Amino acid sequence: MLGLGSSLALGGAPSEWTILETSPEVWWKFNTGQTTPDIDADGDTDILWADQSGNDRDGTGGFTTSIIDAKQGSFSGGAWQSDDDNSFLRIGDGTLSLTDDYTIFMVFTNANNQDTIIGGTDAKDFYRFGVGSAGAGRIRHANNQNNLTFDEDPSTGKVMFKILRNASDELIITQNSTTGVLDAVSISSAAFACARGPAGAAGIADGFVYELIIYNRAVTDAESALIEADVLYRNSLTAD
């Protein structure tokens, strides 16, 4: 325990520990696995963010049945940058469905300006911050909508958010590990389709996604402490 405590105090997870020990469904790791191959063989480069979870859910830019060059965005400084709010990264083949409890960690530049940070292939599933005001949000599960009022307005700029839906269908959103922007509130029990991160149309306008980790379960408090410390350290962030 001494080694664990010392490591966390310094802002990182233990050196021998890895997020892979928590079996994520998706892990787009900061500044890792980012390449620009010509995926569709049309003579230009395409965005590819290799999934580090081992589940082959790579992030591909603007990919539906074919690459959409205008919606791919680009890589910059170890992150993915959108060209406008229509840019998005497809999560693997788009069949990831989060049922019951789940956990999402995401580092991105929050503008409190209708940022749709993750969602399905259409408007039936999404998480959107800044709906009408900085302190409001909206989520949909299979088109079942919940409007949210945050306990405190999320910070703007580069921020890590943890989104947890527990077994009681309660939602808890925290920012940079220690600041709770939303205490537990009841939400839809429907499954959540994870196909894009961020979603296109009202996505992150000219913003950045630095890291994305998805679990089809609620991570434990002990796991969360390690995951958060590791992500914050790697992305040069500190707990609020």
Residue 124 structural domain? 21-234
3-class state of residue 28 by DSSP = strand
- Is residue 113 assigned to a domain? yes
H or E element: which one contains 106? strand 102-110
Residue entry with tokens 């999560």: 91
pLDDT of residue 116: 95
Polymer length of the chain: 240
- Is residue 42 assigned to a domain? yes
For residue 1, count CB atoms less than 10 angstroms from its CB and return exposed for 0-12, middle for 13-18, buried for 19 or more: exposed
> Mean of the pLDDT values across residues 96-102?
96
- Among 220, 204, 7, which Cα is nearest to 106's? 204
* Confidence band for 12, pLDDT divided at 50, 70 and 90: low
Say which residues have a Cβ less than 8 Å from residue 198's Cβ, sequence separation at least 6. 82, 87, 88, 89, 108, 115, 116, 117, 118, 119, 204, 207, 209
Residue 219: what are its φ and ψ, rounded to 5°?
-70, 155
CATH number of the domain residue 143 falls in: 2.60.120.200
- Is residue 15 assigned to a domain? no
Mind listing the pLDDT tens digit for each residue in 71-84?
899 999 999 999 99
- Is residue 6 assigned to a domain? no
- Is residue 239 assigned to a domain? no
pLDDT of residue 11: 54
Q: How many domains in the chain?
A: 1
- Is residue 123 assigned to a domain? yes
Residue entry with tokens 């709906």: 131
Mind listing the pLDDT tens digit for each residue in 18-77?
999 999 999 999 999 999 999 888 899 999 999 999 999 999 987 655 678 888 999 999
d(CA 172, CA 168): 11
What is the share, in percent, of the chain residues with pLDDT greater than 90? 80
Tokens at 234, concatenated: 């790697």
What is the share, in percent, of the chain residues with pLDDT greater than 70? 92
Residue entry with tokens 């890792």: 32
- Is residue 156 assigned to a domain? yes
